[in-house]
Amino acid sequence: MTKTKRIGILTAGGDSPGLNAAIRGVGKTALGFYGMEIIGFRDGFRGLVTNRRLRLDGSVLAGILTVGGTILGTSRDKPHRMKIDGRARDMTAVIVNNYKKYGLSALVCLGGGGTQKNALRLTEAGLNVISLPKTIDNDVAMTDSSIGFATALDIATEAIDRLHSTAHSHHRIVVAEIMGHRAGWLALGAGIAGGADVILIPEIPYHVDKIVEAIRRRSRHGTNFSIVAVAEGAMSVEDARAFVAAENRKEKARNPRERNDAKLELAAIEARHAGNTLRLAKQLEELTHLESRVTILGYVQRGGTPSPADRLLATRLGSACADLIHENVFGVMVASRGNGTEPVPLVKVAGKRKTVPPNHSWVETARRVGTCLGD
Protein backbone atom coordinates (compact mmCIF):
# COMPACT_ATOMS: atom_id res chain seq x y z
CA MET A 1 0.00 0.00 0.00
CA THR A 2 1.42 3.42 -1.04
CA LYS A 3 1.99 5.82 1.84
CA THR A 4 0.07 9.11 1.57
CA LYS A 5 2.42 12.02 1.04
CA ARG A 6 2.24 14.77 3.64
CA ILE A 7 3.33 18.24 2.52
CA GLY A 8 4.36 21.15 4.71
CA ILE A 9 3.87 24.69 3.40
CA LEU A 10 4.89 28.11 4.71
CA THR A 11 5.06 31.74 3.58
CA ALA A 12 8.15 33.79 4.45
CA GLY A 13 9.44 37.33 3.96
CA GLY A 14 7.13 40.26 3.26
CA ASP A 15 3.45 39.71 2.54
CA SER A 16 2.29 39.91 -1.05
CA PRO A 17 -0.99 39.75 -3.00
CA GLY A 18 -1.53 36.24 -4.36
CA LEU A 19 0.02 34.23 -1.52
CA ASN A 20 -3.32 32.74 -0.54
CA ALA A 21 -4.04 31.92 -4.17
CA ALA A 22 -0.73 30.04 -4.31
CA ILE A 23 -1.48 28.16 -1.07
CA ARG A 24 -4.84 27.22 -2.55
CA GLY A 25 -3.24 26.16 -5.86
CA VAL A 26 -0.82 23.83 -4.09
CA GLY A 27 -3.44 22.61 -1.63
CA LYS A 28 -6.36 21.89 -3.96
CA THR A 29 -4.15 20.06 -6.48
CA ALA A 30 -2.36 18.07 -3.80
CA LEU A 31 -5.55 17.18 -1.93
CA GLY A 32 -8.06 16.71 -4.72
CA PHE A 33 -5.89 15.44 -7.56
CA TYR A 34 -3.19 13.46 -5.76
CA GLY A 35 -4.78 12.60 -2.39
CA MET A 36 -1.96 14.14 -0.35
CA GLU A 37 -2.17 15.75 3.10
CA ILE A 38 -1.22 19.41 3.70
CA ILE A 39 0.10 21.02 6.88
CA GLY A 40 0.52 24.80 7.01
CA PHE A 41 3.16 26.32 9.29
CA ARG A 42 2.43 29.72 10.78
CA ASP A 43 4.69 32.79 10.52
CA GLY A 44 7.29 31.37 8.19
CA PHE A 45 10.17 29.19 9.33
CA ARG A 46 9.49 30.08 12.96
CA GLY A 47 6.29 28.03 12.86
CA LEU A 48 8.28 24.98 11.82
CA VAL A 49 10.60 25.55 14.79
CA THR A 50 7.93 26.31 17.41
CA ASN A 51 5.32 23.74 16.34
CA ARG A 52 2.72 26.28 15.19
CA ARG A 53 0.79 24.51 12.47
CA LEU A 54 -2.67 23.79 11.10
CA ARG A 55 -4.14 21.20 8.81
CA LEU A 56 -5.07 22.66 5.43
CA ASP A 57 -8.20 20.85 4.27
CA GLY A 58 -10.89 21.85 1.80
CA SER A 59 -12.76 23.98 4.33
CA VAL A 60 -9.65 26.04 5.15
CA LEU A 61 -8.75 26.54 1.49
CA ALA A 62 -12.28 27.56 0.50
CA GLY A 63 -12.76 31.27 -0.15
CA ILE A 64 -9.10 32.35 0.12
CA LEU A 65 -8.41 32.86 -3.60
CA THR A 66 -9.30 36.55 -3.52
CA VAL A 67 -8.02 37.33 -0.01
CA GLY A 68 -4.88 39.47 0.31
CA GLY A 69 -1.97 38.69 2.61
CA THR A 70 -1.46 35.13 3.81
CA ILE A 71 -3.69 32.98 6.04
CA LEU A 72 -0.52 31.38 7.43
CA GLY A 73 1.12 34.62 8.52
CA THR A 74 4.72 35.41 7.66
CA SER A 75 8.03 36.56 9.13
CA ARG A 76 11.56 37.32 8.00
CA ASP A 77 13.13 34.74 10.35
CA LYS A 78 16.03 32.74 8.91
CA PRO A 79 16.49 29.09 9.88
CA HIS A 80 20.24 29.55 10.48
CA ARG A 81 19.93 32.85 12.38
CA MET A 82 16.66 32.95 14.31
CA LYS A 83 16.15 35.01 17.46
CA ILE A 84 15.34 32.67 20.33
CA ASP A 85 15.23 34.07 23.87
CA GLY A 86 16.86 37.28 22.69
CA ARG A 87 19.82 35.85 20.82
CA ALA A 88 20.41 34.58 17.29
CA ARG A 89 20.61 30.80 17.02
CA ASP A 90 20.99 28.27 14.22
CA MET A 91 17.71 26.33 14.26
CA THR A 92 18.37 24.26 11.13
CA ALA A 93 18.73 21.02 13.12
CA VAL A 94 15.42 21.69 14.91
CA ILE A 95 13.68 22.22 11.56
CA VAL A 96 15.17 18.97 10.21
CA ASN A 97 14.00 17.08 13.30
CA ASN A 98 10.50 18.56 13.14
CA TYR A 99 10.26 17.82 9.42
CA LYS A 100 10.90 14.16 10.26
CA LYS A 101 8.69 14.21 13.37
CA TYR A 102 5.70 15.48 11.38
CA GLY A 103 6.31 12.84 8.69
CA LEU A 104 6.71 15.35 5.87
CA SER A 105 7.50 14.19 2.35
CA ALA A 106 8.21 17.74 1.17
CA LEU A 107 8.33 21.35 2.33
CA VAL A 108 6.97 24.15 0.12
CA CYS A 109 8.41 27.63 0.78
CA LEU A 110 6.73 30.71 -0.73
CA GLY A 111 8.91 33.81 -0.70
CA GLY A 112 11.34 36.22 -2.29
CA GLY A 113 15.10 36.23 -2.65
CA GLY A 114 15.84 35.58 1.03
CA THR A 115 13.41 32.65 1.11
CA GLN A 116 15.09 31.10 -1.93
CA LYS A 117 18.41 31.15 -0.06
CA ASN A 118 16.81 29.63 3.03
CA ALA A 119 15.13 26.96 0.90
CA LEU A 120 18.53 26.05 -0.55
CA ARG A 121 20.04 25.80 2.94
CA LEU A 122 17.32 23.35 3.98
CA THR A 123 17.81 21.39 0.75
CA GLU A 124 21.51 21.11 1.59
CA ALA A 125 20.47 19.93 5.07
CA GLY A 126 18.77 16.95 3.43
CA LEU A 127 15.12 18.05 3.18
CA ASN A 128 12.87 17.75 0.11
CA VAL A 129 12.15 21.42 -0.61
CA ILE A 130 10.32 23.24 -3.40
CA SER A 131 9.94 27.03 -3.51
CA LEU A 132 7.62 29.47 -5.28
CA PRO A 133 8.72 33.02 -6.24
CA LYS A 134 6.87 35.83 -4.48
CA THR A 135 7.72 39.53 -4.41
CA ILE A 136 6.13 42.74 -5.64
CA ASP A 137 9.62 43.88 -6.73
CA ASN A 138 9.72 41.14 -9.41
CA ASP A 139 13.42 40.64 -8.66
CA VAL A 140 13.55 36.87 -7.98
CA ALA A 141 16.03 35.40 -10.46
CA MET A 142 15.21 32.84 -13.16
CA THR A 143 11.44 33.46 -13.39
CA ASP A 144 9.52 35.60 -15.86
CA SER A 145 7.34 37.00 -13.09
CA SER A 146 6.81 36.71 -9.34
CA ILE A 147 3.56 36.42 -7.40
CA GLY A 148 2.44 39.89 -6.27
CA PHE A 149 4.10 41.98 -8.98
CA ALA A 150 1.04 42.32 -11.24
CA THR A 151 -1.16 43.57 -8.41
CA ALA A 152 1.43 46.05 -7.16
CA LEU A 153 1.89 47.30 -10.72
CA ASP A 154 -1.86 47.93 -10.99
CA ILE A 155 -1.91 49.82 -7.67
CA ALA A 156 1.15 51.97 -8.44
CA THR A 157 -0.15 52.79 -11.92
CA GLU A 158 -3.54 53.83 -10.57
CA ALA A 159 -1.81 56.08 -8.02
CA ILE A 160 0.14 57.83 -10.78
CA ASP A 161 -3.07 58.19 -12.79
CA ARG A 162 -4.70 59.95 -9.84
CA LEU A 163 -1.68 62.18 -9.18
CA HIS A 164 -1.93 63.65 -12.68
CA SER A 165 -5.06 65.55 -11.64
CA THR A 166 -3.52 67.47 -8.76
CA ALA A 167 -0.22 68.00 -10.59
CA HIS A 168 -2.02 69.53 -13.57
CA SER A 169 -4.45 71.60 -11.50
CA HIS A 170 -1.77 73.19 -9.28
CA HIS A 171 1.13 73.33 -11.78
CA ARG A 172 3.20 71.16 -9.47
CA ILE A 173 5.95 68.61 -9.61
CA VAL A 174 4.56 65.49 -7.96
CA VAL A 175 7.17 62.94 -6.89
CA ALA A 176 5.75 59.45 -6.33
CA GLU A 177 7.97 57.02 -4.42
CA ILE A 178 7.38 53.42 -5.48
CA MET A 179 8.78 50.30 -3.83
CA GLY A 180 11.99 48.72 -5.16
CA HIS A 181 15.25 48.85 -3.17
CA ARG A 182 17.54 47.09 -5.64
CA ALA A 183 15.35 46.57 -8.71
CA GLY A 184 13.27 49.10 -10.62
CA TRP A 185 10.70 46.88 -12.35
CA LEU A 186 7.76 48.29 -10.41
CA ALA A 187 8.66 51.98 -10.80
CA LEU A 188 9.57 51.51 -14.46
CA GLY A 189 6.43 49.57 -15.35
CA ALA A 190 4.08 51.87 -13.41
CA GLY A 191 5.87 54.96 -14.71
CA ILE A 192 5.43 53.91 -18.33
CA ALA A 193 1.83 52.74 -17.84
CA GLY A 194 0.94 55.88 -15.88
CA GLY A 195 2.63 58.32 -18.23
CA ALA A 196 5.22 59.63 -15.77
CA ASP A 197 7.48 62.30 -17.22
CA VAL A 198 10.52 61.17 -15.25
CA ILE A 199 11.29 57.62 -14.05
CA LEU A 200 14.20 56.94 -11.69
CA ILE A 201 15.30 53.37 -10.93
CA PRO A 202 18.25 51.85 -9.01
CA GLU A 203 19.83 50.41 -12.16
CA ILE A 204 20.25 53.85 -13.79
CA PRO A 205 21.88 56.41 -11.44
CA TYR A 206 20.52 59.88 -12.07
CA HIS A 207 21.86 63.41 -12.47
CA VAL A 208 19.60 65.99 -10.81
CA ASP A 209 20.43 68.52 -13.51
CA LYS A 210 19.13 66.12 -16.20
CA ILE A 211 15.80 65.88 -14.37
CA VAL A 212 15.65 69.66 -13.99
CA GLU A 213 16.42 70.08 -17.69
CA ALA A 214 13.55 67.76 -18.62
CA ILE A 215 11.10 69.63 -16.37
CA ARG A 216 12.19 73.03 -17.70
CA ARG A 217 11.82 71.76 -21.26
CA ARG A 218 8.21 70.83 -20.48
CA SER A 219 7.65 74.32 -19.03
CA ARG A 220 9.03 75.95 -22.16
CA HIS A 221 6.47 73.99 -24.17
CA GLY A 222 3.64 75.26 -21.95
CA THR A 223 3.32 72.27 -19.56
CA ASN A 224 3.83 73.53 -16.02
CA PHE A 225 3.56 70.21 -14.19
CA SER A 226 5.52 66.97 -14.10
CA ILE A 227 5.13 63.51 -12.59
CA VAL A 228 8.32 61.91 -11.26
CA ALA A 229 8.12 58.16 -10.50
CA VAL A 230 11.07 57.20 -8.31
CA ALA A 231 11.96 53.77 -6.97
CA GLU A 232 12.89 53.91 -3.27
CA GLY A 233 16.35 52.56 -4.11
CA ALA A 234 17.11 55.03 -6.92
CA MET A 235 20.39 56.89 -6.34
CA SER A 236 22.18 59.90 -7.71
CA VAL A 237 25.35 59.21 -9.68
CA GLU A 238 27.46 60.40 -6.74
CA ASP A 239 25.72 58.14 -4.19
CA ALA A 240 25.80 55.17 -6.56
CA ARG A 241 29.57 55.56 -7.06
CA ALA A 242 30.13 55.65 -3.31
CA PHE A 243 27.91 52.59 -2.81
CA VAL A 244 29.65 50.54 -5.52
CA ALA A 245 33.08 51.52 -4.18
CA ALA A 246 32.12 50.40 -0.66
CA GLU A 247 30.70 47.12 -1.97
CA ASN A 248 33.92 46.49 -3.90
CA ARG A 249 35.98 47.16 -0.78
CA LYS A 250 33.85 44.67 1.14
CA GLU A 251 34.33 42.00 -1.55
CA LYS A 252 38.11 42.58 -1.72
CA ALA A 253 38.62 42.85 2.06
CA ARG A 254 41.66 40.84 3.16
CA ASN A 255 40.73 40.60 6.83
CA PRO A 256 37.68 40.91 9.12
CA ARG A 257 38.55 44.47 10.10
CA GLU A 258 38.59 45.73 6.50
CA ARG A 259 35.33 43.88 5.80
CA ASN A 260 33.68 45.37 8.88
CA ASP A 261 34.84 48.88 7.91
CA ALA A 262 33.30 48.42 4.46
CA LYS A 263 30.04 47.16 6.03
CA LEU A 264 29.91 50.24 8.27
CA GLU A 265 30.47 52.47 5.25
CA LEU A 266 27.65 50.74 3.36
CA ALA A 267 25.37 51.16 6.36
CA ALA A 268 26.22 54.87 6.52
CA ILE A 269 25.38 55.29 2.82
CA GLU A 270 22.08 53.46 3.34
CA ALA A 271 21.28 55.71 6.32
CA ARG A 272 22.02 58.84 4.28
CA HIS A 273 19.80 57.54 1.51
CA ALA A 274 16.78 57.34 3.84
CA GLY A 275 14.50 60.23 2.98
CA ASN A 276 16.15 60.63 -0.43
CA THR A 277 12.82 61.17 -2.20
CA LEU A 278 11.98 64.14 0.04
CA ARG A 279 15.41 65.66 -0.56
CA LEU A 280 15.06 65.17 -4.30
CA ALA A 281 11.67 66.91 -4.31
CA LYS A 282 13.14 69.86 -2.42
CA GLN A 283 16.05 70.09 -4.88
CA LEU A 284 13.67 70.08 -7.84
CA GLU A 285 11.51 72.77 -6.27
CA GLU A 286 14.52 75.02 -5.62
CA LEU A 287 15.99 74.54 -9.09
CA THR A 288 12.80 74.75 -11.17
CA HIS A 289 10.82 77.23 -9.00
CA LEU A 290 7.82 74.92 -9.30
CA GLU A 291 6.01 73.76 -6.19
CA SER A 292 6.68 70.09 -5.44
CA ARG A 293 4.77 67.48 -3.47
CA VAL A 294 5.75 63.94 -2.45
CA THR A 295 3.54 60.86 -2.32
CA ILE A 296 5.08 57.73 -0.78
CA LEU A 297 2.94 54.75 -1.71
CA GLY A 298 4.59 52.39 0.78
CA TYR A 299 2.82 49.24 1.94
CA VAL A 300 -0.41 50.06 0.13
CA GLN A 301 1.31 48.46 -2.89
CA ARG A 302 1.45 45.11 -1.07
CA GLY A 303 -2.09 45.02 0.26
CA GLY A 304 -5.58 44.20 -0.86
CA THR A 305 -7.19 41.79 -3.28
CA PRO A 306 -4.79 40.18 -5.77
CA SER A 307 -5.39 41.03 -9.41
CA PRO A 308 -6.72 38.39 -11.83
CA ALA A 309 -3.21 38.12 -13.33
CA ASP A 310 -1.70 37.33 -9.94
CA ARG A 311 -4.44 34.85 -9.07
CA LEU A 312 -3.83 33.06 -12.36
CA LEU A 313 -0.03 33.05 -11.92
CA ALA A 314 -0.22 31.88 -8.29
CA THR A 315 -2.69 29.10 -9.13
CA ARG A 316 -0.56 27.90 -12.06
CA LEU A 317 2.65 27.86 -10.00
CA GLY A 318 0.94 26.23 -7.01
CA SER A 319 -0.63 23.47 -9.10
CA ALA A 320 2.69 22.83 -10.89
CA CYS A 321 4.37 22.61 -7.47
CA ALA A 322 2.02 19.76 -6.45
CA ASP A 323 2.78 18.02 -9.76
CA LEU A 324 6.52 18.16 -9.05
CA ILE A 325 6.04 16.78 -5.54
CA HIS A 326 4.08 13.88 -7.03
CA GLU A 327 6.99 13.32 -9.44
CA ASN A 328 9.53 13.52 -6.56
CA VAL A 329 11.28 16.55 -8.05
CA PHE A 330 12.86 18.59 -5.25
CA GLY A 331 15.53 21.23 -4.68
CA VAL A 332 13.89 23.50 -7.25
CA MET A 333 11.92 26.73 -7.57
CA VAL A 334 8.79 26.64 -9.73
CA ALA A 335 9.47 29.38 -12.28
CA SER A 336 7.04 31.08 -14.64
CA ARG A 337 7.94 30.58 -18.31
CA GLY A 338 5.58 32.22 -20.76
CA ASN A 339 2.25 30.47 -20.28
CA GLY A 340 3.91 27.49 -18.62
CA THR A 341 6.19 26.67 -15.71
CA GLU A 342 9.68 25.25 -15.29
CA PRO A 343 11.52 23.75 -12.30
CA VAL A 344 14.77 25.66 -11.81
CA PRO A 345 17.45 24.30 -9.41
CA LEU A 346 17.64 26.43 -6.27
CA VAL A 347 21.41 26.71 -6.69
CA LYS A 348 20.73 28.79 -9.82
CA VAL A 349 18.30 31.09 -7.99
CA ALA A 350 19.63 31.61 -4.46
CA GLY A 351 21.80 34.68 -3.94
CA LYS A 352 20.93 36.18 -7.34
CA ARG A 353 18.70 39.13 -8.21
CA LYS A 354 16.82 39.93 -11.42
CA THR A 355 17.46 43.61 -12.12
CA VAL A 356 16.42 45.77 -15.05
CA PRO A 357 19.00 45.50 -17.88
CA PRO A 358 20.01 48.91 -19.31
CA ASN A 359 18.89 47.78 -22.79
CA HIS A 360 15.61 46.17 -21.67
CA SER A 361 12.65 46.82 -23.97
CA TRP A 362 10.82 48.73 -21.21
CA VAL A 363 13.80 51.09 -20.86
CA GLU A 364 13.99 51.61 -24.62
CA THR A 365 10.23 52.19 -24.79
CA ALA A 366 10.42 54.83 -22.04
CA ARG A 367 13.17 56.68 -23.89
CA ARG A 368 11.32 56.58 -27.20
CA VAL A 369 8.19 58.17 -25.77
CA GLY A 370 10.28 60.99 -24.32
CA THR A 371 10.50 59.89 -20.67
CA CYS A 372 13.51 61.19 -18.77
CA LEU A 373 15.44 58.46 -16.92
CA GLY A 374 17.79 60.88 -15.22
CA ASP A 375 20.86 59.95 -17.25
Q: What average pLDDT score do residues 300-323 get?
A: 96
The answer to whether residue 367 sits within a structural domain is no
User: What values do phi and psi take at 243, rounded to 5?
Assistant: -65, -45
Domain of 295, CATH number, reads 3.40.50.460
Q: Are residues 181 and 89 in the same domain?
A: no
Query: Has residue 1 got a pLDDT over 70?
Result: no
Q: Are residues 228 and 319 in the same domain?
A: no
Q: What average pLDDT score do residues 196-201 get?
A: 97
Residues annotated as catalytic (active site), given as ranges: 137
Other beta carbons within 10 angstroms of residue 151's beta carbon come to 25
The answer to whether residue 371 sits within a structural domain is no
Domain of 63, CATH number, reads 3.40.50.450
pLDDT at 109: 98
Query: Has residue 2 got a pLDDT over 80?
Result: no
Q: Are residues 177 and 85 in the same domain?
A: no
Domain that holds residue 80: 6-147+306-348
Q: Are residues 218 and 289 in the same domain?
A: yes
The answer to whether residue 366 sits within a structural domain is no
The answer to whether residue 27 sits within a structural domain is yes
Q: Are residues 294 and 318 in the same domain?
A: no
The answer to whether residue 369 sits within a structural domain is no
Q: Are residues 63 and 125 in the same domain?
A: yes
Q: Give every strand in the sheet of 53-55, ordered side by side.
A: 53-55, 37-41, 6-11, 106-111, 129-133, 332-337, 340-345
Query: What sign does the CA torsion over 28, 30, 35, 38 have?
Result: negative
Q: What average pLDDT score do residues 64-84 get?
A: 93
Q: Are residues 162 and 298 in the same domain?
A: yes
Q: What average pLDDT score do residues 138-156 get?
A: 97
Angle of helix 308-326 relative to helix 149-170, nearest 10 degrees, comes to 160
State the alpha helices, DSSP H only, in the chain.
19-28, 45-50, 58-61, 92-101, 113-124, 149-170, 185-193, 208-220, 237-252, 256-273, 276-288, 308-326, 361-368
Q: Are residues 200 and 221 in the same domain?
A: yes
The answer to whether residue 374 sits within a structural domain is no
Give the chain's domain count. Answer: 2
Q: Are residues 122 and 168 in the same domain?
A: no
pLDDT at 258: 79
Q: Are residues 103 and 197 in the same domain?
A: no
pLDDT at 49: 95
Whether 148 and 15 have beta carbons less than 8 Å apart is answered as: no
The answer to whether residue 365 sits within a structural domain is no
Give how far the C-alpha of residue 183 lies from the chain's centroid of Cα atoms, to the nearest Å. 9
Whether 134 and 180 have beta carbons less than 8 Å apart is answered as: no
Query: Has residue 363 got a pLDDT over 60?
Result: yes
**Measured between alpha carbons, how far is 31 from 8 in angstroms, rounded to an integer?**
13
The answer to whether residue 373 sits within a structural domain is no
User: Regarding predicted confidence, which is higher, 89 or 171?
Assistant: 89
Whole-prediction pTM: 0.93
Whether 77 and 83 have beta carbons less than 8 Å apart is answered as: yes
Whether 175 and 293 have beta carbons less than 8 Å apart is answered as: yes
Q: What average pLDDT score do residues 225-248 get?
A: 89
Q: Kindly report, residue by residue over 28-49, the tens digit of the pLDDT.
A: 999 999 999 999 999 999 999 9
Q: Is 174 exposed, middle or buried (0-12, 13-18, 19+ CB in 10 A)?
A: buried
Q: Are residues 88 and 205 in the same domain?
A: no
Q: Are residues 84 and 212 in the same domain?
A: no
DSSP classification of residue 46 = H
Nearest to 206 by CA among 176, 178, 229, 174: 229
